[in-house]
Amino acid sequence: MRFGRVLGSKIFPLFLAALIGAAVIITGAGAGVDRALKIVRDSVRAHPASDRFVLVEIDARSLRALEGWPWPRSIHAKAIQRLNTAGAKTIAFDVDFSAPSIAAEDEKFAAAINASAVPVILPTFRQYASQHSEEEIESLPLPMLRNYAQLAAVNIIPDSDGLVRSYPSAIVTGGVPRPSMGAMLANASGSAGEQFPIDTSIDPASIAHISYIDVLNGRFSKKDVAGKYILIGASAIELGDRYPIPGWGVISGPAIQLLAAETLRAGSSPLRRSPWIALGLAISLLYAGTRMRARQQALLATVGGCALLALPLGLEFFHMGSMAVVPALAALIGGMAWIAGAEAVRSFGEIRGTDQLTGLPNRRTLERELALADRKAAMIALRLGGYADLATLLGPSRGAELLLRVVDRLRASGIDTIYRIEENSLAFVANQTLGEAAEELFGRLVSSLAAPIEVAARQIKVDAVFGRAALDGTQASASIDHALLAADQAREQGRAWDDHSSEMEGSRDWRISLAGELDAAMAAGEIWVAFQPKWDIKRNRVSAAEALVRWNHPMRGLIPPDTFIPTLERNGQILDLTLYVLDRAMEQAACWSAGSKAINIAVNISAPLLTKPEFISAITDRLAEGTIQPGLLTFEITESASIENPESALDAMQRLANLGIRLSIDDYGTGQSTLSYLKHLPAREIKIDKSFILAIMENRSDEAMVRSTIDLAHELGFEVVAEGVENQTIFDLLREMGCDYAQGWHVGRPLPANDFMATIGQALAA
């Protein structure tokens, strides 16, 4: 259940996406796709090289013309002279001069280098000392050559798949740092060991080139060389200096040196931006997606995906580096797929007519099946009290769990197909007509739910009411509504079940209109508060009173609170009423204590109010006004409040107690809580419900219950009030049992404040 809730939550796709993205980044699994994307981007951005660098190619034609490689070095001397004359800016060689050749030849070459008016750059390269050695050495041109030349490293380092994608700014060998050829030609500096990506959007075939033999023979136009940076190197296949690069196939080593120089010259940022940034963007997109409708989500996924694809293109276009986006794309696709899949499962379930949370068939299914049915039967609805509180407090899946346990119990008592027709309501069809077998059926159902149900390690007393309505296949939906209405009616009348009748429709309207009249009734003074004394048995005097609301309706007369309070609770109007009663109670407490007749006043607080922050803050505000001592107020909170929402109820009660308000557990004995459980609550008093007190005279077991309750409550530090004390006999018995307070008609009926004082005045504590 808990796991299911995590999977169904809105943030789960974000976690999933982050997980996928991180896995792809860390394992490097997306690198291949990222490289393929880079090739596509390069082809989009493909552009020619600048004409700043010129490759003088030792090509097949030159090799054929000048037989016998390596050529005598005087040939290179001649090439230097030719290029000087033509006005080259720099002359670089990507040719190995580390071994001596014929001395005279070497000397001629050295002399030409020395005589060159422009810088001559010769190559160095790093290599292993021997095939099996780990030691690396730098191969340098002959000392006589390097005396007059500048040196640059020409190592090319392919990736593990053999392709060349990056290039060093400088290379350190044996502690000696050396700029790379590309960096030197581009006049760029860079730290040793730093690699930068070669800009493979430059078409290598567009690099200006002249055949070596043409240079040697002076068959080139001067303007192709004047002011240019010249690199002389081998492109002939037989010389073997060739490497594959992404998107362009195999090209020569010197061409790679020049591509690198072009990259640096264009000022491309060598930065590889962190793929986590793209992942962050993808997760933000998904987060935005969780708040959208399905169609917007599809649009977002498409636009977001394209934006992620375009992001590195933009970076590369503005020379701001590059970024791997495949991890982010994988995350976006994974997250979106989850969201779409969850949505599909959900809507599929709905179309099929299944309630998603419980898996029970839903109202749609029930209606469809009823329309086909042609039989005499009754529709029965079950409404679960306190469901909304439970679901708010513990989450809808806990509510669903409770429903499923209720379904188990109903099944065990012989009901087979059960539908969830509303959030807090179940329904099923019984093979009987109205008026038939009601007592037997409902007796069985009610007793199947008598024992508390365990949900999330809590014992929950199921507060279920049933309603029964005639089943009319042609009006299936109306039958369901009727059964629900009958259940609501049963609750209001304090019954376990009821049959639907046509009068109910009227009474429902009446109740609804009553709720609408509340504000006007409070303003008109139709609603007022009666005070009923609580007798302090030990001190023999009245020391407290309970405020009980009254409604004198101009048309309907006195409406009992049990009739309208449940309606107000359902309509969310109970806060207004409670504050109204509280204000009257505080006025009276202030008035009486000013006349030095301090009397504690108890106000009834509906359980749902405890979880409302507005309630607690309204109370705090009122007490801050300082019109009465908080100790003059008692809040009576019904026992079941604490058992259904233990955590938040406890929290609210603690806050009220901290404000100095006395707390009392009302209706003790009607719920499932034990005294040892209640002792954890910050309450000072328990009120034994009048049903037990009234039953004392007839039933010995109730007497024993009251007696043991009083004893145990005292041991736990509670004061005890007995409610419903109607005669002297009960009063005497309670005194003998050690009960602290008695409340009931024998002591005094609920009365308006003035009458209360007139009749009770003498019995008040001075």
In the bound complex, what is the minimum distance in angstroms from residue 617's beta carbon to ligand C2E?
18
Distances (CA, A) of 556 to 510, 559, 752: 11, 7, 20
Instruction: Kindly indicate which of the ranges 17-25, 64-72, 624-632, 659-667 contains the residues binding Ca ion, using the contact rule CB under 5 A.
Output: 659-667
Applying the rule CB under 5 A, the residues between 616 and 655 that interact with Ca ion are: 636
Does 262 bind Ca ion (CB under 5 A)? Our answer is no
* C-alpha dist (Å) from residue 644 to 231, 394, 415, 676: 86, 10, 27, 16
Which of 218, 506, 560, 631 binds ligand C2E (CB under 6 A)? It is: 560
Q: Is 561 in the site for ligand C2E (CB under 6 A)?
A: yes
In sequence order, the β-bridge partners of residue 137 are 127
Q: 370 φ, ψ to 5°?
A: -65, -35
φ, ψ (nearest 5 deg) of residue 253:
-55, -50
Per CB under 6 A, 559 contacts ligand C2E: no
To ligand C2E, the closest distance from the beta carbon of 569 in angstroms equals: 8
Q: Are 169 and 186 within 8 A, CB to CB? A: no
Select from ligand C2E, Ca ion, none the partner in contact with residue 110, using the beta carbon and a kind-dependent cut-off of 5 to 8 Å: none
The least distance separating Ca ion from the CB of residue 493, rounded to whole angstroms, comes to 17
Contact between 727 and ligand C2E by CB under 6 A: the answer reads no
Rounded Cα distance between 145 and 122, Å, is 8
Using rule CB under 5 A, residue 743 touches Ca ion: no
* CB of 577 vs Ca ion, minimal distance in Å: 14
Pick from 227, 431, 745, 752 the residue near ligand C2E by CB under 6 A.
745
Give Cα separations from 537 to 500, 597, 710, 756 (angstroms): 47, 18, 14, 19
Name which of 113 and 530 has its Cβ closer to ligand C2E: 530
548 binding partner (options Ca ion, ligand C2E, none; Cβ < 5 to 8 Å by kind): ligand C2E
Would you count residue 498 as binding Ca ion (CB under 5 A)?
no
Question: How far, in Å, CA of 249 to CA of 162, rounded?
Answer: 12
Q: Rule CB under 6 A: say whether 588 interacts with ligand C2E.
A: no
465/451 Cα distance (integer angstroms):
15
Residue 124 sits in the site that holds ligand C2E (CB under 6 A): no
241 belongs to the binding site for Ca ion (CB under 5 A): no
d(CA 405, CA 390): 14
Residue of 562, 576, 647, 715 that binds ligand C2E (CB under 6 A): 562
Residues 6 or more apart in contact with residue 400 via CB below 8 angstroms: 357, 358
- Give the range of 436-444, 657-665, 677-685, 724-732 binding ligand C2E by CB under 6 A: 724-732
Could you tell me the smallest distance in angstroms from the CB atom of residue 17 to ligand C2E?
Answer: 48
Ramachandran sector of residue 386 (left: φ over 0; alpha: ψ -120 to 50; beta: rest): left
Interface residue with Ca ion, options 667, 685, 702, 703 (CB under 5 A) = 667
Residue 740, interface with ligand C2E (CB under 6 A)?
A: no
Task: Return the one option of Ca ion, ligand C2E, none that residue 560 interacts with (CB less than 5 to 8 A, by type).
Answer: ligand C2E
Across 439-482, where does the E strand assignment appear? 453-455, 458-460, 464-470
How many Cα neighbours within 13 Å face the side chain of 337?
9
Stretch of residues binding ligand C2E (CB under 6 A), selected from 232-240, 301-309, 482-490, 742-750: 742-750
Query: Residue 642: which residues within 8 A CB-CB, separation 6 or more?
Result: 649, 650, 653, 665, 673, 678, 681
β-pairing, 497-499 vs 464-470, is parallel
155 in Cβ contact with 164 (< 8 Å): no
- Residue 482 or residue 690: which is nearer to ligand C2E going by CB? 690
Cis peptide bond prior to 312, omega within 30° of 0: no
- Tell whether residue 640 is a contact of ligand C2E (CB under 6 A): no
Decide whether 486 or 582 has the Cβ nearer to ligand C2E.
Answer: 582
Tell me the three state secondary structure of residue 227: coil
Per CB under 6 A, contacts with ligand C2E among 357-416 are none
Residue 137 contacts which entry, ligand C2E, Ca ion, none (Cβ below 5-8 A, type-dependent): none
- Provide the minimum distance between the beta carbon of 360 and ligand C2E in the complex, in angstroms, as a whole number: 34
Question: Residues 46, 548, 616, 695: which binds ligand C2E (CB under 6 A)?
Answer: 548
d(CA 69, CA 75): 11
| Contact range with ligand C2E by CB under 6 A, out of 11-19, 99-107, 652-660, 720-728 | 720-728
User: In whole angstroms, how close is the CB of 587 to ligand C2E at the nearest point?
Assistant: 14
The 10 Å CB-count burial string (b at 16+, else e) for 29-50 is: ebbebbbebbeebbeeeeeebe
Residue 690 CB, nearest approach to ligand C2E (Å): 5
Which of 656, 750, 753, 764 is in the footprint of ligand C2E by CB under 6 A? 750
Match 């050396």 to its residue by tokens: 178
Three state DSSP letters for 60-118: HHHHHHCCCCCCCHHHHHHHHHHHHHHCCCEEEEECCCCCCCCHHHHHHHHHHHHHCCC
Check binding of 492 to Ca ion (CB under 5 A).
no
What 3-state DSSP class applies to 542? strand
| Closer residue to Ca ion (CB): 611 or 638 | 638
Residue 219 to residue 104: CA distance in whole angstroms: 27
Do 339 and 289 contact (CB within 8 A), yes or no? yes
Asked if 688 and 706 touch (Cβ cutoff 8 Å), the reply is: yes
Cα–Cα distance between 513 and 315 in angstroms, integer?
Answer: 67
With CB under 5 A as the contact rule, the residue among 138, 639, 689, 740 that binds Ca ion is 689
- Exactly one of 726, 735, 738, 763 binds ligand C2E (CB under 6 A); which one? 726
In the complex, the smallest distance separating the C-beta of residue 557 from Ca ion, rounded to whole angstroms, is 23
Binding partner selected for residue 532 from Ca ion, ligand C2E, none, CB under the kind-specific 5 to 8 Å limit:
ligand C2E
Helix axes 574-594, 613-624, angle to 10 degrees: 20
Q: Which residue lies nearest ligand C2E, judged by its C-beta?
A: 744
Cα 511 from Cα 302, distance rounded (Å): 53
Of the pair 498, 723, the CB lying nearest ligand C2E is at 723
| CA proximity to 30, closest of 336, 301, 337, 330 | 330
Rounded Cα gap, residues 497 and 443, in angstroms: 9
Stretch that binds ligand C2E, among 263-271, 392-400, 462-470, 723-731 (CB under 6 A): 723-731
Residues 606, 634, 640, 673: which binds ligand C2E (CB under 6 A)?
A: 606
**By CB under 5 A, residue 685 contacts Ca ion:** no
CA–CA gap between residue 608 and residue 648 (Å, rounded): 11
Nearer to ligand C2E, 229 or 731 (CB): 731
Q: Contact between 566 and ligand C2E (CB under 6 A)?
A: no
Quick one: which of 164, 282, 549, 678 contacts ligand C2E (CB under 6 A)? 549
By CB under 5 A, residue 666 contacts Ca ion: yes
Region 663-692 residues binding ligand C2E, contact defined as CB under 6 A = 666-667, 690
Q: Output 380 or 661, the one with its CB closest to ligand C2E.
A: 661
Residue whose CB is less far from ligand C2E, 234 or 549: 549
- Of the two residues 445 and 641, which places its CB atom closer to ligand C2E in the complex? 641
- H-state helical runs in 609-673: 613-624, 639-644, 646-658
CB of 561 to ligand C2E, least distance (A): 4
Is residue 138 near Ca ion by the rule CB under 5 A?
no
Interacting residues with Ca ion (CB under 5 A): 604, 636, 666-667, 689
Interacting residues with ligand C2E (CB under 6 A): 532, 548-549, 560-562, 565, 578, 581, 604, 606, 636, 666-667, 690, 723-726, 744-745, 750
